[in-house]
Structure 1
Amino acid sequence: MKYRNKTVVASVTGLTLEGMDIMFISFAMSLIVADFHIDLATGGFISSITNIGMLAGGMIFGVLADRFGRVKVFTYTIFLFAIGTALTGLATNIEQVYLFRFIAGVGAGGEYGIGMALVAEAWPKNKQGRASSYVSVGAQFGVIIAAVLSAVLLPLFGWRGLFFVGVIPVIFAFFVRRNLKESPEWLAARKQKPSIQNRGKLLQLVNRPRTAFTTIGLVIMATVQIAGYNGLMIWLPSMLQQSQGLSVSSSALWTISTAVGMIAGMLTFGKFIDKFGLKVSYGIFLIASAAAVFLYAYATGSTAVLIGGAIVGFFSNGMFAGYGALISRYYPVEIRSTATNTIFNFGRAAGGLSPILVGFILQHANMMVAMSYLAGLYGISFLVMLSLGGIKKKEASGIQQKRLAS
């Protein structure tokens, strides 16, 4: 039990630092745009290039973690993430911002999947939903921390001062390396020669038609998850500043309200998974997300904006908590980190293009069209989720194995 808790604490902290860094871009976006004299679409590419880096880092470090160990590679990803974040504050042109955000993305992309694999291998299947939700709320803790730090640091030090906070993960990486042991399940699998031969091979994600179909379906769902999140969190503060006349401080309050809703949604979703299964849980939240996002375009007044933001956050990002458990159900331990990192970070890279599209929509249409686009994405994800097979069988198998073990 002590080891289980350590895996959660390490993964939560890593995702908190990652979520904080991503939201720094959101709060600093208008200042970066003004500083380098770029348009909104060009500014949106900062987030997109970060997600492309996450895809590269996810594949590279996912394979390395399956071959050489979770904890060792996990600390390397955190170091790289910290270096890229701190260097962003030293950028003298937009091209350097792109480069340093790519480096930070490479580290962050590896960190997510490895942390999720550690948790999945430490917790029994009937508790993986809630364990995954505990980890996922780390990103929202990071959002809240970013909102507070932005309100304090931006007026004093400008946007560069935010990214100098990126040196903090170095301390965390040192702590993880000293206090967290390697995954027992990975160590056991390492002793099996057949597993060693197949460990960390990307082709195993598409080596059979059904496996390829499942991988593609999970990539689409992950893409929608990231596209919805980025579209909402990167541009909604700016949307609300224009449509509702909110100040920067009011936008920070909205961000905190939405993040609180997301945390509640994640914790609820994790319990839903353990009680009702993955398909039912995703079905409910995907439909509710599409409705909530579409209706939010009609919100007026500060109270409606705050409450509506919390409701949108509850459903749309509550599902984020389930991807660690979802992907882990389909892939064995020898490629679990590779699968989690590759699938989710491919979704990050593709979904990371959403801020560019939302920025384009806002320049040529209005908030209603942008929110309709986001609502449509959740409808697509719902249809894809229905096409995935094998979840119920795998869940039942996991429950039966637990009963036999006890």
Structure 2
Amino acid sequence: MSQCPENGAWRPAPVTNAQVKYATLVAFLAWTFAVYDFILFGMLLPEIGKATGLDDAAQARLATWVAFGTVVVALAVGPLVDRFGRRAGMVITVGGAGICSALTAGAGSIGTLVLTLIRSLAGLGYAEQGVNGAYLSELYSASKDPRIAKRRGLIYSLVQGGWPIGALLAAGLTAVLLPHVGWEGCFIFAAIPSLIVAFMATRLRESPQFEALSKIKALQASGMNGEAQALAQSQQMEAEQSVGLASVLKGKARRATLVLSCAHLLNWFPVQIFSVLGTTVLMSVHHVSFGNSLIILLLSNLVAYLGYLTHGYFGDRFGRRNVIAVGWMLGGAAFWAMLNGPSETWMVIALYSIGQFFLIGPYSCLLFFVGESYDSSVRGTGASIVTGIGPVGAIIASAGSAMFLGAGDSWLQAAIWFGAVPCVLSGLMVFFAAPVKQHAAKYEVAQPGHSSV
């Protein structure tokens, strides 16, 4: 633990620009390759089904159970991060994604139950974004560089932009490798970079906030309660810290947990419909060919990356809460227009890309805003719950769409009610979250009646 004595009192060592740059690089690579593994399973599910004798229905059931397991594992990450540190969380999550990839390669011949359990470990990789949000929000807020304080949202948008890059890597490398190494080889190849990044994460600087929390606990354990209280006051923290899932359902953390979890769950409806099942929707609604649908998905992912940078930039200036809410509402409107508009290719491409721009782009603000909305003692737990609850929305969207289709409705109606409409509702829900003081030295939730900067 870093120490910086000041008038005889312990203080965390200052954060250097080199530490911020290294942490930003590692977080970007960690998220990129965690997404690579996360996306790879969905892309290769048909190939896995062929190799294991699973028909379409069995593949759908497998994907549903894997999604459920992913949620359970992702929710378990937060308390670990608050107990053992942000650095440990980075190592565990990205390393877990690599191990999951490697194990998946050998699970096809063992059985679907084992495959489900192994793929549930992908929840570690998915939870990595929550660890990023908690860790980097603390590290950036502790930096004394005014350039970082002014542009922290834009900088984080580069990190969160690992989602479309990871998705593009998964698509591109799979197209190249699959004919030569099979689906098992694709997963083995995906494991290598994740494990390398996990090793890089062991060299990260722990956040000063977590160092201070650890010091407070150590002083209390030694019976030095007065010193612990003094340190807590100097760091604007509570001396008595609660941990565990219940801790984010108390006090001012409750509002952030309920509102942001609900908003994220609703937003995963359109993520599932328009991103994961995008080719199916485009082919069914507008009769786009499979080849053209892949091109549209490729272009939309490139546009989505621009969305990350744009929303990160404006989030620093107009408040992340406002930018997230408006972005998702505009995304829902664009998807509704795409579904109900003409089937000309250029029109479909334009409206679908605009929808992805406003659906995916606000995530550069969301994970950082989640980190800002909690105190340091529960930041990891809060981030894991908000991010982990998202795939539940994907499960509901898939089940609801299947119900619509089974009742004789079309993908047009299913995509409207389980995609476009929830996208707008998720934006409206974000407005109920408390604003935060984005440019304060310490991130604290603004009190009701105070304006956010």
Q: Which category of TM-score, normalised to the shorter sequence, fits these structures?
A: 0.7 to 0.9
**Match of residue 153 from structure 2:** 129
Cα distance in 2, alignment partners of residues 63 and 244 from structure 1: 45
Structure 1 letter corresponding to 2:135? L
Answer with 122-131 or 306-315: which moved more: 122-131
Q: 1:155 to 1:149 in 2, by over 3 A?
A: same
Is 2:380 the counterpart of 1:380? no
Cα distance in 2, alignment partners of residues 356 and 73 from structure 1: 32
Once the 2 structures are TM-superposed, how far is the Cα of residue 281 of structure 1 from its aligned partner? 0.9
Q: 1:79 to 1:211 in 2, by over 3 A?
A: closer
Is 2:188 the counterpart of 1:171? no
1:345-377 CA distances to partner (integer Å, 9 max, x unpaired)? 122334344334335545643231132021110
**Match of residue 388 from structure 2:** 345
Q: 1:352 to 1:162 in 2, by over 3 A?
A: farther
1:166-212 CA distances to partner (integer Å, 9 max, x unpaired)? 322112211221x322112221232224757525332221123x542
Q: 1:156 to 1:192 in 2, by over 3 A?
A: same
Contact 1:11 1:116 in 2 (8 A): no
Cα distance in 1, alignment partners of residues 181 and 403 from structure 2: 30
Alignment match of 1:225 (pick from 267, 274, 296): 267
Answer with 290-299 or 263-272: which moved more: 290-299
Alignment match of 1:285 (pick from 327, 349, 358): 327
Structure 1 letter corresponding to 2:118? F
Q: What is the correspondence of 1:284-303 to structure 2 with a 5 Å cutoff? A: 284-297=326-339, 298=341, 300-303=343-346
Q: CA RMSD in A?
A: 2.7
**Match of residue 334 from structure 1:** 377
Cα distance in 2, alignment partners of residues 201 and 340 from structure 1: 12
**Match of residue 404 from structure 1:** none
**Match of residue 73 from structure 1:** 89
Once the 2 structures are TM-superposed, how far is the Cα of residue 378 of structure 1 from its aligned partner? 1.6
**Match of residue 149 from structure 1:** 173
SS of the residue aligned with 1:322? helix
Once the 2 structures are TM-superposed, how far is the Cα of residue 249 of structure 1 from its aligned partner? 4.5
Once the 2 structures are TM-superposed, how far is the Cα of residue 86 of structure 1 from its aligned partner? 2.2
1:233-262 CA distances to partner (integer Å, 9 max, x unpaired)? 221113334555655544432222111111
**Match of residue 96 from structure 1:** 114
Structure with larger Rg: 2
Alignment match of 1:198 (pick from 216, 238, 241): 241
SS of the residue aligned with 2:277? helix
- TM-score scaled by length of structure 1: 0.87
Structure 1 letter corresponding to 2:97? F
Alignment match of 1:9 (pick from 25, 33, 41): 25
Contact 2:329 2:425 in 1 (8 A): no
Structure 1 letter corresponding to 2:105? G
**Match of residue 391 from structure 1:** 435
Contact 1:226 1:351 in 2 (8 A): yes
SS of the residue aligned with 1:154? helix
> Where does structure 1 lack aligned partners over 5 or more consecutive residues?
402-406
Once the 2 structures are TM-superposed, how far is the Cα of residue 334 of structure 1 from its aligned partner? 1.4
Once the 2 structures are TM-superposed, how far is the Cα of residue 318 of structure 1 from its aligned partner? 0.9
> Where does structure 2 lack aligned partners over 5 or more consecutive residues?
1-16, 142-148, 218-227, 229-237, 445-453
Answer with 142-151 or 359-368: which moved more: 359-368
Cα distance in 1, alignment partners of residues 284 and 186 from structure 2: 24
1 or 2, which has the higher helix percentage?
Answer: 1
Identity of aligned residues (%): 21
Structure 2 letter corresponding to 1:132? Y
Contact 1:261 1:309 in 2 (8 A): no
Cα distance in 2, alignment partners of residues 192 and 376 from structure 1: 47
Q: What is the correspondence of 1:349-368 to structure 2 with a 5 Å cutoff? A: 349-362=392-405, 364-368=408-412
1:310-331 CA distances to partner (integer Å, 9 max, x unpaired)? 2121011111111222212221
Cα distance in 2, alignment partners of residues 162 and 231 from structure 1: 25
Cα distance in 2, alignment partners of residues 358 and 48 from structure 1: 13
Q: 1:215 to 1:399 in 2, by over 3 A?
A: closer
Structure 2 letter corresponding to 1:223? L
Answer with 284-293 or 57-66: which moved more: 57-66
**Match of residue 8 from structure 2:** none
